[in-house]
Amino acid sequence: MNSTGATEPFALPLWFGGAMCTAYPDVREALADSRELELAYNLPPGVRAPLDLHQAISKSIDVGHLAIYYRGAMATVNFEESLEAPSQTYFLRLTPLGGAQWERLARADWARFIEYRYGVESFDALDPHGDLQSYVEVTGSDRERVESVARAMLPEGAEIPSSGWMEHRPYQVTNWKSLDCGWTLRVAFGTGNSVMDESLVRIPESAMVRWYLDEATSPTEE
């Protein structure tokens, strides 16, 4: 195994590295049909996995750009062994070395990076079996962008309370990337529903803004 990887080109497509900044795919999921990958990672139209993603992942593990994890810790199994395990056992993550190479090639602009999620939670934390409420949560390093995306996602008329903000110092974006500061805005709305009406939540274009170069749809090197 090449333990440095410093002179090895980044063998994965840039969108794969970008997707791994917000999700750590199961080793089997990473080898899914390209159409399934598009849906799972909300890839730009027309992007396709390389013909031999298996080989690209295996090489990236060998040179130290990717690592296999088990229950939050780096695993000692090799890639082939991990594929024999039950689904949702082993997961892939970029290493600091792989992340640095991807970041350089993709020209990542972290000020434009946004994470978001939404769902249903207990209205009263002390009464988990009581009424439920829906929520939207948006995180990023640019507070104005975070608020703009949250407002676009929320139903019309929903208010943003000052208590909904949380500041992160530092902001740990991924397992290998940290920024000086980040913001999370969490807004709850509506009560009494057991299932969120997803039609109330809109995913605006501002949440999907391109924050890294993604023209390359095949392995990239300089």
Q: Mean pLDDT across the stretch 70-88?
A: 91
38-54 average pLDDT score? 59
Instruction: Verify that 127 and 88 share a domain, yes or no.
Output: no
Domain enclosing residue 94, as ranges: 14-106
Check pLDDT > 70 for residue 117. Answer: yes
At which of 106, 131, 146 does a domain end?
A: 106
Higher local confidence (pLDDT), 123 or 179: 179
In a domain, 173, yes or no: yes
Domain count, the chain: 2
- SS3 state at 12: coil
Q: Do residues 141 and 195 share a domain?
A: yes
From CA 176, how far away is CA 71, in angstroms rounded? Answer: 17
| pLDDT tens-place string over residues 202-216 | 666 656 667 887 654
Query: 179 and 135 share a domain?
Result: yes
pLDDT tier at 101 (50, 70, 90 boundaries)? very high
Q: How confident is the model at residue 217 (pLDDT cuts 50, 70, 90)?
A: very low
Query: CB-based contacts of 202: which residues, under 8 Å, 6+ apart?
Result: 152, 153
DSSP string, 90-151: -EEEE-HHHHHHHHHHHT--GGG-EEEEEEEEESSTT-TTS-EEEEEEEEES-HHHHHHHHH
Does some domain include residue 8? no
Rg of the chain on CA atoms, in Å = 19
In a domain, 212, yes or no: no
- Residue identified by tokens 């994470």 is 115
Q: Model confidence at 140, in pLDDT bands (50, 70, 90)?
A: very high
Q: Report how far residue 11's alpha carbon sits from residue 73's, in angstroms, rounded to the nearest whole number.
A: 24
pLDDT at 92: 92
CB 190, CB 131: distance < 8 Å: no
Same domain for 179 and 197, yes or no, is: yes
Q: What percent of the chain has pLDDT over 90?
A: 40
Task: Let me know if residue 44 belongs to a domain.
Answer: yes
